[in-house]
Amino acid sequence: MKSLISISIADLCEAHYRFLSFWPGAVRGEYAGAALIGNRLIPIPFRSHVALVRSQPEDVPDLIEHANGFYQDMGAPPAFQLDLETTPTDLPQSLLDAGYIKQTEEVWMLCPLSDAPLDAPPAHVTIEQVTPASPDFLIQAYIDSYNISFRAPAHVHRGFGDSFRGVLSHPAGLHYVGLLDGKPAGALSLFYEAELGGVYNVGTFPAYRGQGVASALLLNLLAVARQLGLQQLMLQTLHHGPAQPIYERTGFHTHFVRNWYLPAAPGGIWSS
């Protein structure tokens, strides 16, 4: 029998934003937005990003105004994220009326470690932890894995590299690179607090996909999480995307789905 998942959507979202806040202060200054969780506005370290949990249609104007205060100079209107469990059915229409269009669906998954497989990572993938003392090629391999796997635009490449080097020293973060025949093939990170961990930046270089790299990294992470005394892991991925079956095979279950809404025309929803 699968373990019951007791953590609420609001608590999970707040934990996610706390994990994001572990990144260096310079990154939080560049990437800034706001979230409404339980009808309480909180700042979050992520640009163009407004999450709505237990929100109402009348909250939308206030959220747009609040977000504008963070990044008006950037000319970047906020993105709204609506989870399908706690969102009123008429809230999406309020965003459509405000000039937004639906983009992707993101699934949030949880892995109770009591359900997760105890398999050891396959021997053909070597797992290396990345720390501030690691060789530069290993640090750069993680950075490249993110930039390539997530198709980061060119202007993001340097910024992500600088921020990753800064977050390496955070005590609640662990980072790993998987190698095939000594060559970097993929990477991921774990941030954690109390009994919950968040899995981030899971990526495999295109040339090495389909060879068990992501599965090996995840199996290694499950063992590490157990050693840390964690009870559950969370992650986000594209709903029905190619990575979702990999996560399901390593013990992750769908907890809820969140839809992204972005402005149809940039700047079209700025409040006065």
For the chain, domain boundaries: 9-107+258-263, 115-230
Residue 40: CB atoms within 10 A of its CB come to 11
Residue 99 exposed, middle or buried by CB count within 10 Å (0-12, 13-18, 19+): middle
* pTM, 2 dp: 0.87
Quote the pLDDT of residue 77.
64
Low-confidence spans in the chain with pLDDT less than 70: 1-5, 25-34, 38-39, 41, 43-49, 53, 64, 66-78, 265-272
Quote the pLDDT of residue 268.
39
How far, in Å, CA of 183 to CA of 189, rounded?
Answer: 19
Give the phi and the psi of residue 72 in degrees, each rounded to 5.
-60, -40
Quote the pLDDT of residue 102.
87
The CATH classification number of 115-230 equals: 3.40.630.30
Cα atoms in the 13 Å half-sphere on the side-chain side of 221: 33
Helix (H) or strand (E) holding 172: none
Quote the pLDDT of residue 270.
35
Rg of the Cα trace of the chain? 19
How far, in Å, CA of 55 to CA of 60, rounded?
Answer: 9
Q: Is 174 helix (H, G, I), strand (E, B) or coil?
A: strand
